[in-house]
Chain A
């Protein structure tokens, strides 16, 4: 986009086109679909965290009317390949059903197929499983002990990953610094827990030899993984992308569920549907998020300059590797946050335990890391007796320093962190906010202000995979878009992923409309199935504004090139002397109308210029900007674009009850050029809600017997409209120099800083007692107990 041209549709207050079908109850979710002759699956779950499966007796279940089949891990593992594992740990094998032994409580041991889900559940209760209990562990630090019970005996230990990176002169920087400080903080195991559980329908067509899949997925390379596991050619799996997904935020991967349903539908010759119920989803849908202990040592000078940091992140991956360990990798791309820190040592460790399996969660590990960095910044400021805000401002990268290379090899594209913070402070009236805090304190409440500054790496490069596993050569993820003009002159855009709430149809229509100078409401957006699609990788890594936005813009530009070529040829003019404007081609002698160009492209091939194909159609495959390099010396450019957010929170609570109530929440947000303001606002507010949950409420807590205690919505607490405050968003736009319109990602915004800010506010509120609450979520009981203990010791 030319900097002088004012956008017509971009950044304007346009409605989100997907919304209409949802308010009418006319979304197309997987559980709304029916296939003739469809059968239903219920699961038999393991009772113990680890046990050898001695015998499975399904005779009673199979004798029930309407029950068609019971399958166990032995049959399934003999027929399918193990599920993909990104790390080099070939003996950590994972199948959809436990094989030989189970490794966490709730793990699926067998599946029952029946005419209805209710019947399948009844029958699942009749499946008798004889087991011998085995030793187990749930604690990540215990798992580091070489003597600990291995979750996978064939692997030999519980260690999945242990890599140490030294970026810059860490030891020298520590030696030259005035002081050092150590801290430990823990990010509790939570997840995004969509309201729709995972669901899938598989149907095998034996004459076409194609497996049709309808699933609530948000998953790169999903079709490839299903084909590999089921030993099918890649072009024998057809994933239908015209399925609405009821929330994902990263976790809707569903590989094990789909491989199971895919196998069963071929075996039984009927369509098979597996929709998790809430218990199956919470306990064994393999969709938990990171659970991470951070040990940090930081070196700084007395003037408040942070020089170096050593961080060890120990992640509890659960029972199988999955993609969880890579969530230690992405934060490497923003390992110093928005700060100038000269050198970093980072040790990434991942262990197996007898807990449910982790999946990718919003931010892919970035939010826990930001929480650790921001807590560190608060602690150092407190140690030095400096104001937390001034301390941050002193260490922030300055706007004139961009592009800014950080020690771990990524270059931050652009930003103006100080300007965003100044705007937030002005909006919130920081002095008044502090006065309000002090007034609340005078009333006998605990009141505190929390601040957090952090980055949202966006654009979804995959360089963390080869960085953590040299045998894995995945460096990047592309995204495709097709733009067609039909014979009546109307525009249809094809995008190649499911919808899970990010508004990609709106994004694609807005961008194509902007480039073609055409009302986006006239543009249709479709989602073909995976066999009819261009290469794409779904919305992960906060990438679609950049990647789909880029692909759509470039495909539309190619259409313009074709239109100008046709217009110029008709006018016998030099294409270089012609230009596209409002659907016409302006030549030195006049204009050629859109209808005329369409007519030539679709009917009058004799009028086509040489070298131009008929049909007015264009494809574009967008590459990640900066996304082609493999790691070298433990360094690599990770994501291309870096959005910034600054949180300012005031909260208060009664010292005995200790229920934090947020009194004011202001966030400054800079994700470059905004394509649709409604969507970006929603992402930010929703992200803050997820962050609030992670900070105060949500945890997959296991008891000493290895059982998940929070397996329903009665005990796994999520923010309601009562807990979530009204949030004020302060906008700032620092365009990225690397993208089509200057846009950056926003799909993880809010979530990346809210936990740190809320934790910081609680610490400010209890600062008179010097209490540290070093584990998220910070429960009411933890706060009140700590205050009571401090009072008792006072």
Chain B
């Protein structure tokens, strides 16, 4: 089926089987390899993308369902190639990862949270990433990263604007 996916502001016209997940379409159809397959049954969150502002598991959504929706993948987060946005930079500052496999999903889950909550409590941060399993970090430095990103966003008008406010 012909499907138009709008990803990171660009439209990809792709041909997919009706059964193709958004995850597979992003990776194989659009060539965006930053979205990762973990469990492929909606538990681990490695495939998280943002669809119309909400964190969504791309393994549980079909590509044809996503036609016309506004999708952001990890490739759409950095302002320019070689640069990092404030959330990505905060993950680097606190070393909020190890192997890096769950990281794109974590960054996007954090982005979805900080898009609606400028001052999250630790409990709200833990809640926002509770659907993203990380086997490396024990979450401590991820929570620190999101805490730091929230603080930086609050303290910088420019960054807040960048985040779409």
A27–B138 touching, CB < 8 Å: no
* Complex interface: chain B residues within 8 A of A21 (CB): 100
What is the predominant secondary structure among interface residues of chain B facing chain A? Answer: loop
- B30 beta carbon closer than 8 Å to chain A: no
In whole angstroms, what is the CA distance A24 to B97 when docked? 12
The smallest beta-carbon distance between A482 and chain B, in angstroms, is 25
A195–B141 touching, CB < 8 Å: no
- B102 beta carbon closer than 8 Å to chain A: yes
Contact of B138 among A194, A687, A714 (CB under 8 A): A687
In whole angstroms, what is the CA distance A678 to B91 when docked? 12
Highest count of chain B CB atoms <10 Å: which of A20, A682, A714: A682
B99–A246 touching, CB < 8 Å: yes
Contact of A278 among B19, B32, B40, B89 (CB under 8 A): B40
- B152 beta carbon closer than 8 Å to chain A: no
* Complex interface: chain A residues within 8 A of B142 (CB): 721
In whole angstroms, what is the CA distance A656 to B7 when docked? 49
The smallest beta-carbon distance between A291 and chain B, in angstroms, is 20
A194–B139 touching, CB < 8 Å: no
Tell me the residues in window 690-734 of chain A with beta carbons closer than 8 Å to chain B beta carbons.
690, 712-714, 718-722, 724, 726-727
A15–B93 touching, CB < 8 Å: yes
- A71 beta carbon closer than 8 Å to chain B: no
Contact with B along A180-220 (1 / 0, CB 8 A): 00000000000011111000000000000000000000000
The smallest beta-carbon distance between A674 and chain B, in angstroms, is 13
Tell me the residues in window 106-138 of chain B with beta carbons closer than 8 Å to chain A beta carbons.
107, 122, 125-127, 129-138
Contact A24-B34, Cβ < 8 Å, known A246-B100, A686-B135: yes
* Complex interface: chain B residues within 8 A of A18 (CB): 100
* Complex interface: chain B residues within 8 A of A29 (CB): 33, 36, 101
Contact with B along A662-688 (1 / 0, CB 8 A): 000000000000000011011101111
* Complex interface: chain B residues within 8 A of A20 (CB): 84, 92
In whole angstroms, what is the CA distance A194 to B44 when docked? 11
The smallest beta-carbon distance between A90 and chain B, in angstroms, is 36
The smallest beta-carbon distance between B78 and chain A, in angstroms, is 6
* Complex interface: chain A residues within 8 A of B88 (CB): 23-24
A682–B100 touching, CB < 8 Å: no
B100–A22 touching, CB < 8 Å: yes
In the complex formed, the residue of B with least CB distance to A692 is B138
Contact of B103 among A23, A118, A688, A727 (CB under 8 A): A23
A686–B74 touching, CB < 8 Å: no
Contact of B140 among A195, A244, A245, A727 (CB under 8 A): A727
Contact A195-B41, Cβ < 8 Å, known A20-B92, A23-B91, A682-B98: no
The smallest beta-carbon distance between B120 and chain A, in angstroms, is 13
In whole angstroms, what is the CA distance A246 to B44 when docked? 13
B74–A25 touching, CB < 8 Å: yes
In the complex formed, the residue of B with least CB distance to A677 is B95
* Complex interface: chain A residues within 8 A of B84 (CB): 20, 23-24
- A277 beta carbon closer than 8 Å to chain B: yes
B126–A689 touching, CB < 8 Å: no
* Complex interface: chain A residues within 8 A of B44 (CB): 195, 713
In the complex formed, the residue of A with least CB distance to B81 is A24
Contact of B41 among A24, A32, A681, A712 (CB under 8 A): A712
Contact A681-B102, Cβ < 8 Å, known A195-B44, A713-B44: no
* Complex interface: chain A residues within 8 A of B41 (CB): 278, 712-714
The smallest beta-carbon distance between B105 and chain A, in angstroms, is 9
- A503 beta carbon closer than 8 Å to chain B: yes
- B43 beta carbon closer than 8 Å to chain A: yes
* Complex interface: chain B residues within 8 A of A225 (CB): none
A727–B138 touching, CB < 8 Å: yes
A721–B143 touching, CB < 8 Å: yes
Tell me the residues in window 40-62 of chain B with beta carbons closer than 8 Å to chain A beta carbons.
40-41, 43-44, 46
- B35 beta carbon closer than 8 Å to chain A: yes
The smallest beta-carbon distance between B57 and chain A, in angstroms, is 12
In whole angstroms, what is the CA distance A245 to B99 when docked? 7
Contact of A501 among B74, B136, B141 (CB under 8 A): B136
- A247 beta carbon closer than 8 Å to chain B: yes
Contact A686-B136, Cβ < 8 Å, known A278-B41, A712-B43: yes
The smallest beta-carbon distance between A280 and chain B, in angstroms, is 11
Contact of A15 among B46, B77, B95, B138 (CB under 8 A): B95
In the complex formed, the residue of B with least CB distance to A28 is B33
Contact of A721 among B74, B75, B103, B139 (CB under 8 A): B139
* Complex interface: chain A residues within 8 A of B77 (CB): 24-25
In the complex formed, the residue of B with least CB distance to A687 is B138
In whole angstroms, what is the CA distance A720 to B138 when docked? 8
In whole angstroms, what is the CA distance A21 to B82 when docked? 9
A19–B100 touching, CB < 8 Å: yes
- B29 beta carbon closer than 8 Å to chain A: no
In whole angstroms, what is the CA distance A465 to B29 when docked? 48
The smallest beta-carbon distance between B48 and chain A, in angstroms, is 11
In whole angstroms, what is the CA distance A16 to B92 when docked? 7
A678–B94 touching, CB < 8 Å: yes
B136–A682 touching, CB < 8 Å: yes
Tell me the residues in window 443-491 of chain A with beta carbons closer than 8 Å to chain B beta carbons.
none
Tell me the residues in window 1-43 of chain B with beta carbons closer than 8 Å to chain A beta carbons.
17, 19, 27, 32-41, 43
A685–B103 touching, CB < 8 Å: no
In whole angstroms, what is the CA distance A714 to B60 when docked? 14
Given contacts A501-B136, A686-B134, 15 further A-B contacts (CB under 8 A): A15-B95, A19-B95, A19-B97, A22-B100, A195-B46, A196-B99, A244-B100, A277-B40, A278-B38, A278-B39, A501-B100, A678-B94, A679-B95, A682-B98, A724-B140
| 10 closest Cβ pairs, A-B complex | A25-B34, A22-B100, A246-B101, A25-B74, A501-B98, A501-B99, A685-B138, A689-B138, A713-B43, A678-B95
